[in-house]
């Protein structure tokens, strides 16, 4: 199978006007507005990937018996396009998203997509809708590649054989309107996000559907986000909301970073990986390990743990300020974003927005 396809291009005859677009870009919110075009690529067991199209953004006809509606066979990715100081546009580590989508696809019995086709699809959409890439500091064009089963069949004994891969794009501001102010988190004891042997490390829509009740419980408890613990002992800390978690021990030149290791139940975040590579270059040793709820509380109470933050593509870095559980509660630091969290955030943002050098080769210029 070829690694690329020729795209059939149909331009949107009624794109959003320049005035409407400017109004949207002035206050984009997060994930609420979409650009003028989208990409669709079909897959069938007989033909492989075919029928690659760039077309006007809009509803797609779907058969009510399509397997995705019944058995939730759906995967997605998330990455961003950033406007550079010279007006050009870059994406960030797109091949890493492509590779992760393919790992997710394996777990969900879905077809892998050639990495180059994944990146070509993103580039074509960003190039076509380049005027939608914001130039406001901290804003970006959020790209959402996703894939789902379209096979018309209710049986489950043979896996789906037809799929649709799509990319849509959404101009976006800050994920949390409150910005980088620390969030409060609720330790979920009743719900689990992922179990050993399950789908936790796949970026599978169902993982997110299964998390909504836990998130709703967190909000009911007066918290902003839910912390997921391991499903077996409800003791080991795994993730926060849809983000990976990072713990800063110590401060100044003695600081170090710990993040829960990828055990199969955690998502291998691109931002997580970038933090693990950036931090040592800023003099901050890193460790992928294990931390229990008890250790987290004791570490904060003794002052050993100085900062905690969630990290992901959408929010980048989201400091955690307070923790609440059924029978416990504690604070982290002084309720302000920690110095190390902010330094790591600035470094990463600087690379993404082209205001700092990129010694890692992470920034991917539009070809």
Q: Does 141 bind ligand COI (CB under 6 A)?
A: no
Residues 6+ away with beta carbon under 8 Å from 267 = 200, 201, 203, 239, 242, 244
Q: Using CB under 6 A, pick the residue from 242, 259, 306, 341 that binds ligand COI.
A: 242
Q: Using CB under 6 A, pick the residue from 243, 245, 255, 279 that binds ligand COI.
A: 243
| Alpha-carbon gap, residue 8 to 215, rounded angstroms | 41
Alpha carbon 22 to chain centroid, angstroms = 26
Say how many residues touch ligand COI, by CB under 6 A. 8
Q: Does 38 bind ligand COI (CB under 6 A)?
A: no
Q: Using CB under 6 A, pick the residue from 28, 78, 173, 260 that binds ligand COI.
A: 78
Q: Using CB under 6 A, pick the residue from 94, 312, 333, 338 that binds ligand COI.
A: 312
CB of 274 to ligand COI, least distance (A): 12
Alpha carbon 247 to chain centroid, angstroms = 19
Query: What are the distances in angstroms from CA 150 to CA 146, 200, 204, 227, 329?
Result: 13, 23, 16, 34, 46
292 exposed, middle or buried (CB, 10 Å; 0-12, 13-18, 19+)? middle
- In the chain, helix, strand, coil percent, each to 5? 25, 30, 45
Closer CB to ligand COI, 243 or 291, in the complex: 243
CB of 48 to ligand COI, least distance (A): 28
Nearest to 87 by CA among 353, 367, 347: 353
Nearest to 186 by CA among 288, 43, 293: 293
Q: Does 94 bind ligand COI (CB under 6 A)?
A: no
CB of 315 to ligand COI, least distance (A): 6
Closer CB to ligand COI, 143 or 315, in the complex: 315
Q: Does 143 bind ligand COI (CB under 6 A)?
A: no
Any alpha helices (H) in 163-238, and if so which ranges?
Answer: 205-209, 212-220
Closer CB to ligand COI, 110 or 315, in the complex: 315
Nearest to 199 by CA among 38, 346, 75: 75
By beta-carbon distance, which residue lies closest to ligand COI? 312
Q: Using CB under 6 A, pick the residue from 91, 172, 211, 313 that binds ligand COI.
A: 313
Closer CB to ligand COI, 38 or 314, in the complex: 314
Q: What is the contact surface with ligand COI in residues (CB under 6 A)?
A: 78, 208, 242-243, 312-315
């Amino acid at each position: 199978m070829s690694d690329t396809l020729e795209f059939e291009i149909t331009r949107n005859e009624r794109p959003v006007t320049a005035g409407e677009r400017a109004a949207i870009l002035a206050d984009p919110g997060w994930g609420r507005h979409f650009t003028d075009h989208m990409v669709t690529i079909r897959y069938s067991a007989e033909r492989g990937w075919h029928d690659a199209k760039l077309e006007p953004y809009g509803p797609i006809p779907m058969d009510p018996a399509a397997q995705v509606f019944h058995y939730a066979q759906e995967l997605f990715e998330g990455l961003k396009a950033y406007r550079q100081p010279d007006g050009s546009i870059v994406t960030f580590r797109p091949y890493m998203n492509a590779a992760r989508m393919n790992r997710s696809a394996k777990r969900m019995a879905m077809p892998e997509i050639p990495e180059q086709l994944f990146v070509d699809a993103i580039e074509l959409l960003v190039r076509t809708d380049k005027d939608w890439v914001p130039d406001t500091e901290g804003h970006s064009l959020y790209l959402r590649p996703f894939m789902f089963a379209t096979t018309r069949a209710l049986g489950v004994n043979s896996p789906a054989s037809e799929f649709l891969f799509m990319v849509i794009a959404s101009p976006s501001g800050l994920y949390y309107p409150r910005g980088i102010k620390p969030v409060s988190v609720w330790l979920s004891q009743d719900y689990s996000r992922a179990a050993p042997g399950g789908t936790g490390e796949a970026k599978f829509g169902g993982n997110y559907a299964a998390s909504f009740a836990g998130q709703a419980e967190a909000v009911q408890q007066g918290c902003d986000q839910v912390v997921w613990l391991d499903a077996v002992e409800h003791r080991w800390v795994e993730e926060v909301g849809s983000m990976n978690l990072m713990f800063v021990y110590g401060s100044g030149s003695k600081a170090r970073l710990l993040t829960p290791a990828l055990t199969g139940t955690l998502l291998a975040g691109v931002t997580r990986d970038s933090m693990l590579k950036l931090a040592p270059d800023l003099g901050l040793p890193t460790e992928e390990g294990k931390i229990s709820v008890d250790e987290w509380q004791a570490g904060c109470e003794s002052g050993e743990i100085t900062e905690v933050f969630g990290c992901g593509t959408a929010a980048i870095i989201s400091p955690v300020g307070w923790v609440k559980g059924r029978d416990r509660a504690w604070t982290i630091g002084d309720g302000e974003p920690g110095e190390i969290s902010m330094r790591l955030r600035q470094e990463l943002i600087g690379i993404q927005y082209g205001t700092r050098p990129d010694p890692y080769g992470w920034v991917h210029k539009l070809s």
